[in-house]
Amino acid sequence: MRTVHSLKELRSMLRSARQQGKTIGLVPTMGNLHEGHVSLVRKASEAADVVVTSIFVNPMQFGANEDLDKYPRTLAEDQDKLASAGNTLVFAPSPEEIYPEGLARQTKVVVPDVSESHCGASRPGHFEGVATVVTMLFNMVQPDFAVFGEKDFQQLAVIRKLTRDLLIPVEIIGAPTVREDDGLAKSSRNGFLSKQERAIAPVVYQTLANIATQLTQGRTDHDSLEREACEALSQAGLRPDYFNIVNSHTLEPATATDQEITLLVAAFLGTTRLIDNLSITR
């Protein structure tokens, strides 16, 4: 497995792969890899001859008061995990390589509607940063397909829309969330939790599962269910940002007759913001 840091090296390696008729799969990440990421790489390696994992802590998607500086940079450990997961090439550029003119002068990609609610409402500019860097990664790597985790449900919807709208010839593949035994979704941010917070964190998934059960049993009073979910999170010691019951395709509030429904949640535990989701069909 090779690691390259510049676009020039990346392009030259991929040019020869393409000339040999090889298929290319991309797994975009911000590093600090866990089993969730490894599952994305394994999925990509089942279908592609060459798997490129990008590791780039994208400054454009962090707000001014967010955790850009303390976001863990763990390239050596990440390389070990990727090598055993069937990855071929790591692309680990610097911010200067991606944004040579700086963030303020960078052309940006704005994805309307699906970016605006939920995390988009709480983190202004976040999805603009994600959409911009993902579009650039698609142009840099020109993969046949790219794999993203369903844990970031709204992010996946944003990426599907930008790919469709901008006619980018890349297939987008969603991969299921990987969970700890107690239900907590694997996330790089779990590492920020204290021992005490870690013990509370599974309440996020338990609340999703509980509300999902009530929906499948026929409740359609979504506003009350959302309130009950927020109360359960607060009682456990979390600070809910939102708990929204949405149509799985539009991410708009679900109606009583919608059949494919997704429960989206974001909640703070101390200073750590956890997100998760659960989809059901009723």
Q: Which residues bind ligand PAF (CB under 6 A)?
A: 28-30, 58, 61, 130, 133-134, 152, 155
Nearer to ligand PAF, 47 or 68 (CB): 68
Residue 214 CB, shortest distance to ligand PAF, in Å, is: 30
Do the beta carbons of residue 172 and residue 143 sit within 8 Å? Answer: no
Residue 92 CB, shortest distance to ligand PAF, in Å, is: 12
Nearer to ligand PAF, 89 or 133 (CB): 133
Q: Is 118 a catalytic residue?
A: no
Q: In sequence order, what E strands does the chain have? A: 2-4, 24-29, 50-55, 89-91, 145-149, 171-175, 239-247, 260-269, 272-281
Nearer to ligand PAF, 95 or 253 (CB): 95
Residue 55 CB, shortest distance to ligand PAF, in Å, is: 9
Residue 90 CB, shortest distance to ligand PAF, in Å, is: 13
Nearer to ligand PAF, 28 or 120 (CB): 28
Name the 3-class secondary structure at 261.
strand
DSSP for 50-103 reads: EEEEEE---GGGS-TTSSTTTS---HHHHHHHHHHTT--EEE---HHHH-TT-S
- Active-site residue (options: 37, 118, 126, 222): 37
Q: Annotated active-site positions, please? A: 37
